[in-house]
A and B are shown apart, each in its own frame.
Chain A
Amino acid sequence: MKKSSHSLLWQKLLTQGLVTGEEPEFNDDTAPWYVRTMLGIAGWVGAILLLGALFGGFALLTDSAVVAGMLGAGACLVAVIIYRATHHNDFAKQFAFAVSLAGQALLVYSILKGLNLFQDTEAFISRVRQVAMVLVVLQSILFLVVPNILHRTWSALIGVGAAVFLLNQYGLYPFTLAITLAAGTMLWLQEFHWARYGEMLRALGYSLIIVSISHLLTQNHFWDDGRFWQNVFGIQSLGGAVGEWLASLCLGVILIALVFVLLKRGEIALGSSISIASLVLAVLVTLIGLQAPGITVGIVVVLLGYSRGNTILTGLGLVTLVVFISQFYYLLHLTLLQKSILLFGSGLVLLAVRQVLKHFWPKGAADA
Chain B
Amino acid sequence: MRKSKRLLLLEWAEQSRIDPERLTEAMRVSDVLPSADDWRGFLDTLLLWLGALLTASGVVFFFAYNWDDLGRFTRFALVEGLLLVALLGVWRLGIDRLSGKIALMVAAVFVGVLLALVGQTYQTGADTYELFAVWCVLILPWTLIARFDGLWVFWLFLLNVAVIIYYDTFGGIFGVVFGVEQMLWLLFLINTTALLVWEFLVSRGHSSRRSIRWMTRLLATVSCGLITALAIFGIFSDSQWLSLLGPIIWLVWMVCAYLWYRTVVLDVYVLAIAVLSAVAVVNVVLARILFNGVLEHSGGLLVMSLSVIGLSSFGAFWLRGVVKGAQT
Residues in A with CB closer than 8 Å to B40 are: 361, 363-365
Cα A13 to Cα B316 with chains together (Å): 32
* 8 Å CB interface, B285-323 against A: 297-299, 301-302, 304-306, 308-317, 319-320, 323
A322 to B46, CA, bound (A): 13
List 6 A–B pairs whose Cβ atoms lie within 8 Å, in order of A's numbering.
A3-B327, A9-B9, A38-B275, A196-B13, A321-B50, A337-B65
CB of B180 closer than 8 Å to a CB of A? no
Whether the Cβ atoms of A351 and B48 lie closer than 8 Å is yes
> Is there an interface contact between A347 and B37, defined as CB atoms closer than 8 Å?
no
B48 contacts A28, C-beta separation under 8 Å? no
Contacting residue for A18 out of B18, B41, B52, B273, CB 8 A:
B18
Interface residues of chain A, those whose CB is within 8 Å of chain B, are 1-3, 5-6, 9, 12-13, 16, 18-19, 21, 24, 28-32, 34-35, 38-39, 41-43, 45-47, 49-50, 52-53, 56-57, 90-91, 93-95, 98, 191-199, 265-266, 274, 295, 302, 306-311, 321-322, 325, 328-329, 335-337, 339-351, 353-354, 357, 361, 363-367
Which stretch from B19-27, B126-134, B169-177 is at the chain A interface? B19-27
**Given A1-B5, A307-B34, A351-B55; A56-B301 close (CB under 8 Å):** yes
Known A-B contacts: A30-B7, A31-B320. Give 16 more (CB < 8 A).
A9-B5, A13-B26, A19-B26, A28-B8, A32-B269, A35-B323, A38-B276, A38-B316, A39-B313, A53-B301, A90-B320, A94-B313, A343-B54, A343-B57, A344-B54, A363-B37
Known: A38-B276, A309-B33. A98 touches B22 (CB 8 A): no
Q: Which residues of B contact A329 (CB under 8 A)?
A: 61, 64
- Which chain A residues border B33 with CB–CB below 8 Å? 307-309
User: Which of A53, A348, A357 meets B43, CB within 8 Å?
Assistant: A357
Chain B interface residues (CB < 8 Å from chain A): 1-27, 29-30, 32-37, 39-44, 46-48, 50-62, 64-65, 67, 268-269, 272-273, 275-276, 279, 297-299, 301-302, 304-306, 308-317, 319-320, 323-324, 327-328
Chain B residues with CB under 8 Å of A344's CB are 54-55, 57-59, 62
- Complex Cα gap A344–B65 (Å): 14
Q: How far is the CA of A354 from the CA of B51 in the complex (A)?
A: 9
Q: Does the CB pair A354–B44 fall under 8 Å?
A: yes
A52 — nearest CB in chain B belongs to which residue? B301
Contact B54 A346 (CB under 8 A): yes
Q: Kindly provide the distance from the CB of A199 to the nearest chain B CB, expressed in whole angstroms.
A: 8
Q: What's the count of A-B pairs with C-beta under 8 Å?
A: 264
Are B58 and A341 interface neighbours, CB within 8 A? yes
**Which residue of B1, B61, B279, B308 is within 8 Å of A1 (Cβ)?**
B1
Shortest CB distance A352–B (Å): 8
Asked if residues A195 and B20 are in contact (CB atoms below 8 Å), the reply is yes
- Contacting residue for B309 out of A46, A357, A367, CB 8 A: A46
Q: Of B16, B30, B306, B319, which one neighbours A31 at CB under 8 angstroms? A: B319
Chain B residue nearest to A292 (CB atoms) is B54
- A29-B29 Cα distance, complex, nearest whole Å: 24
The smallest beta-carbon distance between B174 and chain A, in angstroms, is 32
Asked, given contacts A49-B304, A340-B58, A347-B57, whether A39 binds B47 with beta carbons under 8 Å apart, the answer is: no
Instruction: Name the B residues within 8 Å of A193 (CB-CB).
Output: 20-21, 23
In the assembled complex, the CB of B144 is this many whole angstroms from the nearest CB of chain A, namely 25
What chain B residues lie within 8 Å of A266 (beta carbons)?
36, 39
**CB pair B62 A12 closer than 8 Å:** no
- Residues in A with CB closer than 8 Å to B58 are 339-347
Instruction: Say how far A241's CB is from chain B's closest CB, in angstroms.
Output: 23
By a CB distance below 8 angstroms, the chain A residues around B4 are 1, 28
Name the distance in Å between A29's Cβ and chain B's nearest Cβ. 7
Q: If the complex has contacts A18-B22, A31-B320, A38-B275, are A340 and B61 also in contact, measured as CB distance less than 8 A?
A: yes
Give the docked Cα–Cα distance between A322 and B56 (Å). 12
- CB of B69, distance to nearest CB on chain A (Å): 11
Which residue on B lies nearest to A318, using beta carbons? B49
From known contacts A6-B8, A38-B272, A192-B23, infer whether A13 and B30 are also in contact, taking CB-CB under 8 Å: yes
A325 touches B57 (CB 8 A): yes
Residues of A close to B14: CB separation below 8 A: 195-199
Q: Which residue of B lies closest to A345 (CB)?
A: B58
**Bound form: Cα–Cα A196–B23 in Å:** 11
What separation, in Å, do the CA atoms of A141 and B43 have in the docked complex? 41
Residue in A21, A35, A367 whose beta carbon sits within 8 Å of that of B320 in the complex: A35
For A94, the chain B residues whose CB sits under 8 A away are: 309-310, 312-313, 316
